[in-house]
Amino acid sequence: NAGVTQTPKFQVLKTGQSMTLQCAQDMNHEYMSWYRQDPGMGLRLIHYSVGAGITDQGEVPNGYNVSRSTTEDFPLRLLSAAPSQTSVYFCASTIRTGGSSPLHFGNGTRLTVT
Amino acid sequence: AQSVTQLGSHVSVSEGALVLLRCNYSSSVPPYLFWYVQYPNQGLQLLLKYTTGATLVKGINGFEAEFKKSETSFHLTKPSAHMSDAAEYFCAVNNAGNMLTFGGGTRLMVKP
C-alpha cells in the first residue's frame, strides 16, 4: 500500500524554468492538496481539489497551476520558477471533504531555485 | 478566517520530563483540531484529532491534547519524554471547510 507518492524527491531549477511536481495516491481519496513548507511558517496551502475536474486556490496560489484529471493524480506545475519558490512541497490527501478527516502526506519534494 | 498560533518555535526538555506544546487558534465556528508530527526528511503524520465529543483526546505514542473552547486552546502533552519524541510538531485547524490551516510548528528537543 503506497499511500501518497511524490516525485521527484529533490530538484534544482534555474530562474524561469518550468517543471511539474508529481503526486499520486492509491487510496481512492476524494480530496487532494498541495502545501509548501518554509521555516517558521508551518505549511501553507497552495491549491486543493475536492474531486476529479475540480480545483481551487489555497492561501498562496500565485505562480502555481494544478489540474485533476483522475482521482489518483494531482500534479503541481511551476510555469516560470522564481527563487521565492525555493521550499519543500508536500502533497496530501484525505478520504472525504468537510474537514474532519485527517490528511495523509507524501514525503515531500525539496525544490531549490537558483 | 481561521489562524493558529504555536507558542515557542523551539522547546527543550529532559528525557522523562513533561512535554507541553502550546497551541491557540482563532475560529468563527467550532473547529476541527489536529496535531501532526514530522520526523526529519519525512512527511507529516497524524498524532491526534478533535472533531466532536470528549474534549480530552488521546493519540499515538502517549500524547494527548485537551480542547478548551473558552481558552481557544488545544495544547499537546506527554507525561514523560523519550528521545524518540524529538521532532517538529504542528497544530492545525479546519472550520469544517476544505482548507486546513497550520501553525508555525514547534521543534521539540529531548536531552538525555
Residues 49-78 of A with CB under 8 A from B: 50, 56, 58-59
Within 8 A of B9 by CB-CB distance, chain A residues are 40
- Which residues in chain B are closer than 8 Å to A33, comparing Cβ atoms? 100
Q: What does pLDDT average to over chain A?
A: 94
pLDDT surpasses 70 at A1: no
Contacts of A90 in chain B (CB under 8 A): 43-44
By C-alpha distance, which of B96, B92, B91, B85 is closest to B22? B91
- Residue A99 in this model has a pLDDT that exceeds 80: no
Of B34, B42, B95, the CB nearest to A102: B34
Q: How many CA atoms lie less than 13 Å away from A32 in the CB half-sphere?
A: 30
CB-CB: which of B43, B104, B105 is closest to A90? B43
Lowest mean pLDDT among A22-26, A56-60, A94-98: A94-98
